[in-house]
Amino acid sequence: MASSTLSLKSLRDTSTLKSEISLLENEKNDFIAKLEREKKLVRKLQEDLLEQKKDFDHLEKQFHHFADIEADFEALQQEIQLERLENLLNIEKLETQNTSTDKKSKEEVKELQKELKELKKLDPVRLKRQVVDLKKKTITQASENKAINIALVTTRKELKETTAEKDKFDSELKAALSESHSFWQSKDGEWVLIETGLVLKEEDAPKNEDDRVTRIRCLNLTTGTSVLSNELITEGKEKDLASWLGEMEIPEDVSKEAGKRLKKIAADLEDEDD
């Protein structure tokens, strides 16, 4: 009858651990999904930045092109004005020398008026306005590129933090999976002690197996609640008892057994160091 009772409680213990492991695996999948989304966002930002750079290069070429047009237009305008003055002077000389050249002079004036009309079609005011608009668009494009770069840096930082959280979560999951059986159970079947390498939230994930910290988990099979060991008490009335994290009340005989295990773990580590 006693062995049957122990078997049922052992099954209850295994069910509780499986539930904790399943929860940790779900959280791991969520972290991996988040990591993939962050990677896709980084790739998208990189592609956008490349497209923006192509647009910026195109706008810069247009800017230089319109600047060249503006310079050529001004030079052409000055050249035409000088040419027109020279033609007018020649016309005046010809009119004083021979009235027969009046018809030819009028034709030359007509040609000059035609050329002037063609120049007006170029609309220099419109060209200047386009150049100003292009400069403004170039400045706006540069600001947008800067904002994209800042967003890219921020995303990379978040990705790095997410990766660190994932590494820590993997260590926690590995520690939880290692809690496959208890090394001690109370006579009344209410308390069990389990070795665990679970990493606390405020702690960094161990870089290798040598840095892993082993703790004792005390599990109440009646309530399903558990608590982790803090350290081994080395002096006073409670010497050789394990102290616990949190306010959960643990019987003295349970703390004594946990203390024995912590002493053994410490001794094993010393032997490995030697």
Structural domain boundaries of the chain? 38-171, 178-273
Residues with Cβ within 8 Å of 60's Cβ and at least 6 positions away in sequence, in order, are: 138
The Cα–Cα gap between 231 and 258 comes to 10
Asked whether the beta carbons of 203 and 185 are under 8 A apart, the reply is no
Average pLDDT of the segment spanning 97-118? 74
Q: Which two tokens stand for residue 206?
A: 């161990």
Phi and psi angles of residue 71, each rounded to the nearest 5 degrees, phi first: -65, -45
Is the C-alpha dihedral spanning 58, 64, 68, 74 positive or negative? Answer: positive
Q: In what order do the strands lie in the sheet with 242-244?
A: 184-185, 191-196, 215-220, 226-232, 242-244
Q: For the chain, give the percent of residues with pLDDT over 70.
A: 77
Residue 181 has pLDDT above 80, yes or no: no
User: What pTM did the predictor assign?
Assistant: 0.36
194 CB neighbour count, 10 Å cutoff: 21
Asked whether 213 and 192 are in contact (CB, 8 A), the reply is: no
Q: What is the pLDDT of residues 54-89, one digit of tens each?
A: 887 887 887 777 777 777 777 878 888 878 878 887
Cα angle value 55/59/60 (rounded, 5°): 115
3-state secondary structure at position 202: coil
